[in-house]
Amino acid sequence: MSTETGFFQEILTTLENANRYLELPPAIYERLMTPRRSLIVSVPVQMDNGRVKYFTGYRVQYDTARGPAKGGIRYHPKVTLDEITALAALMTWKCAVVNLPYGGAKGGVACDPTVMSRDEKKRLTRRYTYEIAFLIGPESDIPAPDVYTDEQTMAWMMDTYYMIKGYSIPGVVTGKPVCIGGSLGRDSATSDGLVITILEALKTLNMSIDGLTVTVIGFGKVGYHAARILHGLGAKVIGVADSKGAVYNAKGLDIKALHKHKEASGALSGFKEAGDSSLDELLAIPVDLLVPAALEGQINMTNVKRIKTKILAEGANNPVTTEADKVLLDNGVFLLPGVLANAGGVVVSYFEWVQDLQRYFWDETEIKNRLTSIMTKAYHEVLRISVDKKVDMRTAATILGVQRVAEAIRVRGLYP
């Protein structure tokens, strides 16, 4: 999270920057500054040692003018209401940028899943789902995986909802296993969408993917798949970092081999085909493309001045703080904001939801083609605003997303 200002305050600053061009009516602007609904729940869980431990859970529905709320569930020790509110706002703009019929939401539980057993995480998930069950549903609010949650987590959520309702409702969550209504292509969807926007940016900047030097920060699902796909297209991924360390090889890394090494050892360090490094050292190495794909606020005023990259593509949500953003722009970095660049996950989640509702499923080729079409269109809509209004891509994307949400609010009006 940002060390300079609160995360949600940073989102409001971005909203304010966009409104300088939109000049929204005060009533609509004030509504966009305020989440529609915020829920805080106590989540009691019986641990394996027999003791009951209490965790705090959250679910924020930021705005639903465009449709049901949509957003992930994260398990992390640093989950707070401020963070969840900020992420829910970002989801609201993100869904609108790629023109999905969704509002934005986010949820999470403040816990450390890395020290919990599988059964403890299952009991946590089931109780948390029970506590928020009156908010969620295929027509109201559809959760998905996020940090330290996965398709197994979604299966537990779906099954708990089934036990409450008495019948199976696969559309209540997305990102679940294919065997119970999940979608083909969902596993790598965020990374697929990220690479699609990167390829479009390369065309804009007259750059080639062949030999493109890349550093990836974060080697979870998004970072790994992004690095793997870029490597397969001819890019040279020279550095990878995660929360425990980093590795570097100027000649390029074998991404699949690195992934196998991390799965076997639990860390990137010690990979025989690269030298161990640190995040700070890695960020100082000049590259054509930097992909922060971990948590928010990782690029901040303590490290941004070291960065030497031509393109920064946000695989994570808001990995660059507001103050660091200004430094990157002053240095001429072409920034692909997360509300555009990492929207592939929610796009394929939308496909999964649609398939669940109609009980008819598409093959992976159709899903990839539809994803490419949506992401490419969104990129050029944002680029057009950036050029026309002479603003950076983050401000342009926020203008596009906020404008669409504001229009939905305007035509629906205020009840009563």
The catalytic residue positions are 106
* Count of beta carbons in the 10 Å neighbourhood of residue 181: 23
Going 190 to 196 to 199 to 200, the CA torsion angle's sign is: negative
Q: How many helices (H) and strands (E) does the chain have?
A: 14, 12
The two beta strands, 103-110 and 52-63, are antiparallel
Q: How far is CA 138 from CA 150, 214, 355, in A?
A: 19, 39, 12
Q: For residues 142 and 405, give the distance between their C-alpha atoms in angstroms, rounded to a whole number.
A: 18
Instruction: Give the pairing type, strands 245-248 and 236-242.
Output: antiparallel
220: which DSSP letter? Answer: S
Measured distance CA(244)–CA(250) in Å, rounded: 21
Beta strands in 304-387 (DSSP E): 309-313, 334-336
Instruction: Assess contact for 244 and 270: CB atoms under 8 A.
Output: no
Bridge partner list, 397: none
